[in-house]
Chain A
Amino acid sequence: MEQAEITKAESELLGALKDRFGDRITGHGKFADQLSIFITDDIVFDLAEFMKEDAHTGFELLSDICGVDWIKCPEMRFELVYNFYSIAKSLRVLVKTTIPDSEKPSIRSIQPIYPGADWLEREMYDMLGIEFEGHPDLRRIITPEGMDGWPHRKDFPLTYEVPQFTHNKDKPPEIIK
């Protein structure tokens, strides 16, 4: 992917972030008009606070949180993309971090800073099984409570139906891949 040129506002932001977080900002890239910043997963909360409150940044809108399952690399299996937008600067930045594969992949919740992250994090928990520590009400939001498995993970088969009745619990229907 070719690298586009970084604008002044973006380089200021990158500078401010590097001053604050040092080498925990692991890199950045730009595709078309969109800047992505890569960070380690331990600074998500502090970074969100910095993005919202600091005068250099002032990203008042958290547009979206998206999780991607990279099943082929277990040490960085879950990628979370935080999508920040600044209305004053009309600047969009994607902050990306990865979580290794484990029984209970977890990351700190940014709901206390951006209350709008509430449902977005619940959806990511529901779909990918990522636990958000410090989230006040982490329940499944779209699929029913008590459902087995995490639908957006790549190892969740497309046509698998969770057994609904007790009589076929021991012999679930065959998985068609």
Chain B
Amino acid sequence: MTTGARTMTLNMGPQHPATHGVLRVVLELDGETIISATPHLGYLHTGIEKTAENKLYYKVVPMTDRMDYLAPMSNNLGYVLAVEKLLGIEIPEKVKYARVLLTELTRLNSHLVWLGTHAIDIGAMSMLLYTFREREMLLDVYEAVSGQRMMSTYFRIGGLAYDLPPDFDRKIKKILRVFPQKMKDYENLLSSNRIWIKRLTGVGKLTARQVLDLSVTGPILRSTGVKYDVRKAKPYSGYEKFDFDIPVGENGDCYDRYLVRMEEMRQSLRIMKQALDGMPEGPYKADVPGVVLPPKEKVLSEMEAMIFHFKIITEGFKVPAGSYYQAIESPKGELGYYIVSDGSTRPYRMRVRPPSFINLQTLDPMVRGRLVADVVTCIGSIDIVLGEVDR
């Protein structure tokens, strides 16, 4: 070792258990202090945006699940809302309520995985087992409504894939009953746990100004005290009818982000309860011939319905030329779908504003000047899904 400053380059990932997938971070170290952290992306790049340009509008929906695979319904919702806006079709009230209920369920799902993996990164092994136990209940609902536990593809352009199942109420009521108690258990384990507090407080601290400059949204922005939530700012799918609060933090560190997400889960339960209580009766999809598939029993008995069914499946439907950017509040932040239509049956361009991708930019400012162990905390706290980062 010669005299003078020397730095060491440490490669972390892509196969590293604490990077939540295939994220590779190249760390520049001075001793154990981090000088800079450079994420290298693209290991999961599948070209979903490009593939979407070559698919009929309704065939894009299953691909949106594969981006943020922990929040499939949020991704479905963003896409179908954007296309519905371009088509200018009205959605039945029941569908709106069901969509709100299920996207809030998705938020619980995503936050549970975040909590479990974040805690296991810090060393709290048991949290992962508890959160995945509760996640089973949520996945059961997914399975009941769509037949799939993870890639649900339940929302369709103009409505839902199927009607809600008969025991849907019972399943949701069970979640509403059981979940608050489990949340208390989590908080008993973590909120006042000395190790948890020491590893999180003051780590990855950002100011509101820094976060806004980096275009970051979601719980990271709210933990710095900025009250921005798309559900309140630009309500979609009938969110203006629901009564809920937006939790905000003060310090913008990992501990505040933890508190914000925990409170968000409580608010999600509140919205779910309102949606379940206020769910109106009605059809589960809009009646728009030529765009939305007719009900199956009509297809089997009426000539016209059968022709529409056949035409939609084989040649799709035309969407008026134009472009629209639809933002929704996904569990990770503002998820946007910008769809450009040239009047044909396929999207001319589909751009996804991926919250994980943009939020990952905060990793470098968060970890500068801190120790290697804090990188793991910060990655967990940003809450990324690599499927969405790389698309």
Decide yes or no: A68 and B340 within 8 Å by CB, A31-B323, A31-B324, A142-B41 being known contacts: yes
Q: Using a Cβ cutoff of 8 Å, how many contacts connect chains A and B?
A: 94
Judging by beta carbons under 8 Å apart, are B322 and A31 in contact? yes
User: Which of chain B's residues 242-282 have a Cβ closer than 8 Å to chain A?
Assistant: none
Decide yes or no: A117 and B49 within 8 Å by CB, A31-B324, A68-B349 being known contacts: no
Residues of chain A with a CB closer than 8 A to B214's CB = 115-116
Instruction: Identify which of A90, A92, A141 contacts B42 (C-beta below 8 A).
Output: A141
Interface membership of chain A positions 94-124, coded 1 if the CB is closer than 8 angstroms to chain B and 0 otherwise: 1000000000000000000011111110010
Kindly state whether residue A81 has any CB partner on chain B within 8 Å.
yes
Judging by beta carbons under 8 Å apart, are A118 and B353 in contact? no
User: Which of chain B's residues 159-217 have a Cβ closer than 8 Å to chain A?
Assistant: 212-217
Residues of chain B with a CB closer than 8 A to A26's CB = none
CB distance from A177 to the nearest CB of B (A): 10
Judging by beta carbons under 8 Å apart, are A81 and B390 in contact? no
User: Which of chain A's residues 58-113 have a Cβ closer than 8 Å to chain B?
Assistant: 60-64, 66, 68-69, 81, 83, 87, 90, 92, 94
Judging by beta carbons under 8 Å apart, are B338 and A64 in contact? yes
User: Which of chain B's residues 23-45 have a Cβ closer than 8 Å to chain A?
Assistant: 41-42, 45
Decide yes or no: A119 and B358 within 8 Å by CB, A143-B42, A144-B42, A158-B54 being known contacts: yes
Residues of chain B with a CB closer than 8 A to A36's CB = 323
CB distance from A75 to the nearest CB of B (A): 18
Judging by beta carbons under 8 Å apart, are B353 and A83 in contact? yes
User: Which of chain A's residues 144-177 have a Cβ closer than 8 Å to chain B?
Assistant: 144, 151-152, 156, 158
Decide yes or no: A152 and B325 within 8 Å by CB, A90-B234, A141-B41 being known contacts: no
CB distance from B347 to the nearest CB of A (A): 11
Judging by beta carbons under 8 Å apart, are B42 and A63 in contact? no
User: Which of chain B's residues 309-355 have a Cβ closer than 8 Å to chain A?
Assistant: 320-325, 327, 334, 336, 338, 340, 348-349, 351, 353
CB distance from B11 to the nearest CB of A (A): 16
Q: Please report the C-alpha to C-alpha distance between residue A116 and residue B357 in the assembled complex, in whole angstroms.
A: 11
Judging by beta carbons under 8 Å apart, are B324 and A116 in contact? no
* Nearest A residue (CB) for B45: A142
Judging by beta carbons under 8 Å apart, are B320 and A1 in contact? yes
Interface membership of chain B positions 214-254, coded 1 if the CB is closer than 8 angstroms to chain A and 0 otherwise: 11110000000010100001100000000000000000000
Q: Please report the C-alpha to C-alpha distance between residue A57 and residue B321 in the assembled complex, in whole angstroms.
A: 30
Q: Please report the C-alpha to C-alpha distance between residue A101 and residue B369 in the assembled complex, in whole angstroms.
A: 44
Instruction: Identify which of A1, A61, A92, A115 contacts B217 (C-beta below 8 A).
Output: A61
Kindly state whether residue B85 has any CB partner on chain A within 8 Å.
yes
Residues of chain A with a CB closer than 8 A to B321's CB = 1
Residues of chain B with a CB closer than 8 A to A55's CB = none
Q: Please report the C-alpha to C-alpha distance between residue A173 and residue B60 in the assembled complex, in whole angstroms.
A: 28
Residues of chain A with a CB closer than 8 A to B54's CB = 158
Judging by beta carbons under 8 Å apart, are B353 and A64 in contact? yes
Kindly state whether residue A40 has any CB partner on chain B within 8 Å.
no
Judging by beta carbons under 8 Å apart, are B50 and A66 in contact? no
Residues of chain A with a CB closer than 8 A to B348's CB = 68
Residues of chain B with a CB closer than 8 A to A116's CB = 213-216, 358, 361
Which A residues are closer than 8 A to B by beta carbons?
A: 1, 31-34, 36, 60-64, 66, 68-69, 81, 83, 87, 90, 92, 94, 114-120, 123, 127, 141-144, 151-152, 156, 158
Kindly state whether residue B4 has any CB partner on chain A within 8 Å.
no
Q: 15 A-B residue contacts at CB 8 Å?
A: A1-B321, A60-B212, A61-B212, A63-B334, A63-B336, A64-B336, A64-B351, A66-B349, A81-B323, A115-B213, A116-B215, A119-B361, A142-B42, A142-B45, A158-B50
CB distance from A78 to the nearest CB of B (A): 11
Instruction: Identify which of A1, A81, A87, A152 contacts B50 (C-beta below 8 A).
Output: A152
Residues of chain A with a CB closer than 8 A to B325's CB = 34, 63-64, 81, 83, 92, 94
Given A66-B349, A68-B340, A87-B233, 18 more A-B residue pairs with CB atoms under 8 Å apart are A1-B320, A1-B321, A32-B324, A36-B323, A63-B215, A63-B336, A81-B325, A81-B351, A90-B233, A94-B325, A115-B213, A115-B214, A116-B361, A117-B215, A120-B358, A142-B390, A151-B50, A158-B50
Decide yes or no: A66 and B45 within 8 Å by CB, A119-B361, A158-B54 being known contacts: no
